[in-house]
Copies of this chain bind each other. A is one copy, B any other.
Amino acid sequence: MKKIVNPGTTQIINLLKRPVAKRNNLEATVKTIFAAVKKDADKALKKYTKQFDNAVINSFIVDEKTIAGAADKLSPALKAAIQLAKKNITIFHTTQKEKVQKTETTKGVFCWRENRAIEKVGLYIPGGTAPLFSTVLMLGIPAVLAGCKEIILCTPPDKNGEINPAILYAANLVGIKGIYSVGGIQAIAGLCFGTESIPQVFKIFGPGNQYVTAAKQMALQYNVAIDMPAGPSEVLIIADKKANASFVAADLLAQAEHGADSQVILLSDNEKITDKILTEIKKQVAVLPRKNIALQALKNSTAIVLNNITDCITLSNFYAPEHLIIATEKPLALVKKITNAGSVFLGKYSCESAGDYASGTNHTLPTNGYARNYSGVSLDSFVKKITFQEITKEGINNIGPAIALMAEAEHLYAHKNAVTVRLNN
C-alpha cells in the first residue's frame, strides 16, 4: 500500500482509479448457456451443473428433510449468532416500511402511494470456498418482510451435490421454502426463463463472480430486473490523529481479503497516524489465512495524506466508496457533508464487519462508484411503489380546465377530450 502526501488533483484522480475488471469475453458463453436453458430447461441445467460444478443433480429443489437436518450440523453458538443477526436486520429493515399518506393536492383530488411486493424474486447465493450465509439473511429478510410471494434461492452445489448447511439453516430461519442446488450462469438463466424445476422470477438479487454478473446483465434484456450493477468490493477510511491505528489497519485488511481486485483507500490529515496504520497493516497481514489475496488487493490501494479532514470528505465524495469508515474524533459532525457512499460507519467501534453481518444494515451495496447514483439493497428493492388517485366531481371541475389547456398545448386532443367529456357531463 503506497503512501502519498498532498498530491495534486490530477495525481489524485489517477490514484483513485478503480482496478478495471477483466471481461474475458464472457458474452458469448452467457449467450450460449441462456439459449440452451431457454430451449432445454432442466436438461440444460443438469448438463452445465455437471460441467461447471462437477455435480450430478437429479432434483434441483432441496428437500425439506435436508433443510431441517442442516440445523444439527451447526454449533449452537453459530446458530445463536445467526439468530441475533436476523433480529437486528429485521428491526432495521422494518423501519423502512412506508405508511400510506393520502394527500388532497387540490380540493377533491386525492393522491397517494402504496407499496406492493415484487411477486417473484430470485436470490443468488455464491458457493465456492466461503458459504455466504450472511447474504441469505441480507436478501431473504427484506424479501420476506416485503411480502414477496415466491422467493427462489439458487446456490451452486459442491461436487457431492450438497449445499453448505449454514446456507440451508439461514434460508430456513428467514422462511425461504424454495432452495435450489444450481449456480453460475445456468442458475440465472433458469430464474430468467423458468424451467420444469425453477420458477421464473421478476427480479434477481445477489452477488457473484464475473460469470454471474454477466448473466445478470443478460437477464435485463429479458425484462427481468436486477438489484444493481456489480463491481469489486471497496472501503475508504478517513482517520485523524485520534484514530486507533490497530482498528483502522484491521478494517482495511478486512476489505482487502475479499479479493485480489478489492481496493482500500486511507485518507488522513496526519502523516504520523498514517505511518502507524501502515506499520500495523504489515504486522496484521502476516498472520492472515487469506494473506496472499490481501497483499494483492493492497497493491491497488493507497494512503493519501491531505491538508485537513474537509479535503478528505471532498475526496471521499468524489470516489463514492461502497463502505466509508469515519475514524475521527467527532464523526457525527461530518455526516451532513457525506454525499456519496453506500454505507457509513461512524467512530472507532463501528467496524465494517458489523454491517457485513449483524448490526442490522444491509451489506448489498453499490461498488465501483455506483454510490453516486444507486442505493444499497433495502426493503424498497423488493417492492414497487404504485400511485393511486381518486378525483371527485368537484376535483375534476377544479383541475379539468387546466388539464384541457395543457393537453391542447401539447397537441394531444384525445387527452383533452377525456377531460371535456367529464366537464360537460
Contact = CB atoms under 8 A, between A and B. Distances in A.
A130 B411 contact: yes
B396 A340 contact: no
A109 B359 contact: yes
Given A105-B92, A105-B360, A413-B288, A78 B253 contact: no
Given A81-B401, A370-B223, A347 B409 contact: no
Given A371-B384, A410-B130, A418 B250 contact: yes
Given A385-B380, A399-B358, A393 B340 contact: no
Chain A contact residues, majority secondary structure: mixed
A13 interface: no
A202 B373 contact: yes
A8 interface: no
Contact of A354 (B134, B376, B391): B391
A106 interface: yes
Given A109-B354, A386-B341, A417-B254, A410 B360 contact: no
A353 B103 contact: no
Contacts of A113: 95-96, 378
Interface of A: 77-78, 80-82, 84-85, 87-88, 91-92, 95-96, 101, 103, 105-106, 109, 111-114, 116-119, 129-134, 166, 202-203, 220, 223-225, 229, 244, 246-247, 250-251, 253-254, 256-258, 284, 288-290, 294, 331-332, 335, 338-362, 366, 368-376, 378, 380, 383-393, 395-396, 399-403, 405-407, 409-419, 421-422, 425
